Amino acid sequence: MSKKLIAYFSASGNTAKLARTLSAAAEAELYEIRPAVPYTRQDLNWMDKKSRSTLEMQDKNCRPALADSDAPVPGADVIFLGFPVWWYREPSIIDSFLDAYDFGGKTVVPFLTSGMSPLGEGQERIEALAKGARVLTGRRFSPRTGEGELKAWIAGLELD
């Protein structure tokens, strides 16, 4: 049986809620990806062209600093990678996380929260950044998705 890790970034709490439910469903360790400088409400104002998140997402090479470097990635075989969709892709802090660790030989399973936005170019970006990993197709969920639905999804992935 593979060792699973739920690594997630959550700006508003929606992805955190889903990650906790997924952790229970997958019987997996939970790890929060945190930026060294937490995002404020003003930082997350996507309507402000000068907000931190807007500026980061305009620069596809932006890599915000991580709060720590001790994610339990080395001991995991399967990493469920969770995040909200920002500008039709993963937030830049996810890119920082993918750059910080060796994903060779691992399976990465993106899961995302969004009102309506698809992952768009984010799938290809994650595949490129998680070098040497098998990256499964990401799936969008409601933060209120139940454990039963998540267990059925996991079973369909045929990870073991």
Please, what are the domains in the chain? 4-157 (3.40.50.360)
Q: Which phi and psi (to 5°) does residue 140 adopt?
A: -90, 140
Q: Residue 114: its pLDDT value, please?
A: 86
Is the pLDDT at 48 greater than 60? The verdict is yes
The pair of three-digit structure tokens given for residue 146, joined into one six-digit string = 């139940």
- Average pLDDT over every residue of 63-89: 95
Is the pLDDT at 110 greater than 90? The verdict is yes
- Average pLDDT over every residue of 141-156: 95
Average pLDDT for the chain: 94
CA–CA gap between residue 75 and residue 103 (Å, rounded): 11
Q: The tokens 């209120």 sit on which residue? A: 144
Q: Residue 84: its pLDDT value, please?
A: 95
Confidence of residue 47 (pLDDT cuts 50, 70, 90): confident
Is the pLDDT at 57 greater than 70? The verdict is yes
Least confident of 33-42, 89-98, 109-118: 109-118
CA–CA gap between residue 44 and residue 29 (Å, rounded): 28
Q: What is the pTM of this model?
A: 0.94
Type of residue found at 65:
A
CA-closest candidate to residue 9, choices 66, 74, 87, 49: 66
CA–CA gap between residue 123 and residue 56 (Å, rounded): 18
